[in-house]
Amino acid sequence: MKLKTIVRQELKYILHRYILPIVYNKYRKQPLQKGKVIFADSNSDTLPESMRLVYERLSERDDLDIRLCLSDIRKLGIKGKLSFILSFMREYATAEYVFICNYFLPVTSCCKRKGTRVVQLWHSCGLLKKFAYDTPDDISPYYRGDVTKNISMITVSSPAVKTVFENAYRLEGVKRKMVRAVGVSRTDVFFDEKYQEGCRQNLFERYPEFKGKKIVLYAPTFRGTAAAPELVGEQSVISLQQKLGDDWAVIIKPHPHIRDVSSNCDIPTSELFAAADVLISDYSSLIFEYALLKKPFVLYMPDHEDYIKERGFYVSPETFPCEIVKNGDELKESVLRAYGRKPDAAYDEFLKYHMGSCDGHSTDRILKIVK
């Protein structure tokens, strides 16, 4: 496995160090196209939620040429992946603005022209599990590039998160200024009561069997890497429906990388928050977005000790305003205790620390800076 990883990283290095710059430099000879905006992502065929509000706002303007470079490259063969990346590089070479929301290495492969700005609308909020260069699960120790090269701005959810981002990405000197605690665009919807009510109505119209019931939403992240994702303890949650009884509905929404656990609802996870009474998660950053609605949540971490050793945390989950369950047999009682629990001072402090810059106006601030 180690040899395979090294070979993969070397091939990736050759592609990004030599081939992609040749393509970029060929097309950058053309004039910069003022008003050309690219939204790029390699994890989804459709526009990610993290980009949606910025995209909608910019789409209202008639002086912009907006282009989408989107693909779930996990579904593609080598030829398809190469075609997608090369197509992006051609567009990138003459773009004025590029928006991404995850690691997107083609952006970092060349010496970007001066007139292009790249904005990283980072998809996650708050602080829990380690990421970036702090863990090999995120960035392989054999990777020889720089995942922040050419980035003009990274948006994060609070000042506390900003400091950790700067260190996790090994930013030094003036580069630390690229991390801006202006909030995360995707969180604005949690302050929009009309939008939230629409999400509730949509769920009950499409799934009338959930209407009138107390709703538990199970939304875990994955362990391991995107290439080899794992999930732990899901059987205890699957059996929770029977234990809670007919007054409850358990909605299961595994991370998109997890293929072995099927969902019983095809509505995006964040759109289910409005109807959920209790959230069960683990190490997912979704808990911070959900917390903006000031609802109770439970952390189900049957592999808690192992996770600390293998990946580790920035902030101990024991400090969070919730119960931590390590034994699946205790999950039912924890959910019942959480149901109806009101936010207190500890909950408010938790929100301020992790989400202090998210107030419903993050998209406004981001676009004002980007201009």
- Average pLDDT by consecutive 10-residue portion of the chain (371 residues)? 70 86 96 98 95 97 97 92 96 98 95 96 95 90 88 97 95 94 98 97 96 95 58 78 93 71 83 97 94 97 89 94 94 95 95 98 96 80
CATH code, domain with 195: 3.40.50.12580
Do 95 and 79 lie in a common domain?
A: yes
Do 307 and 162 lie in a common domain?
A: no
pLDDT at 15: 87
Q: Which residue pairs, CB below 8 angstroms and at least 24 apart, start in 202-206?
A: 202/267, 202/271, 203/265, 203/267, 203/271, 203/272, 203/274, 203/275, 204/275, 206/267
Do 152 and 254 lie in a common domain?
A: no
DSSP strand pairing (43-44 vs 65-72): antiparallel
Q: How many domains does the chain have?
A: 2
Do 208 and 124 lie in a common domain?
A: no
Do 214 and 109 lie in a common domain?
A: no
Do 58 and 109 lie in a common domain?
A: yes
Q: Check residue 8 and report its DSSP letter.
A: H
Do 154 and 281 lie in a common domain?
A: no
Domain that holds residue 350: 191-355
Do 145 and 212 lie in a common domain?
A: no
pLDDT at 230: 58
Cβ-based burial of 203 (10 A; exposed 0-12, middle 13-18, buried ≥19) = buried
CB 302 within 8 A of CB 326: yes
Do 129 and 198 lie in a common domain?
A: no
Do 181 and 195 lie in a common domain?
A: no
Do 93 and 124 lie in a common domain?
A: yes
Q: Is 0.85 topped by the overall pTM?
A: yes
Do 65 and 169 lie in a common domain?
A: yes
pLDDT at 24: 97
3-class DSSP assignment, residue 103: coil
Backbone angles phi, psi at 129, to 5 degrees: -75, 155
CATH code, domain with 53: 3.40.50.11820
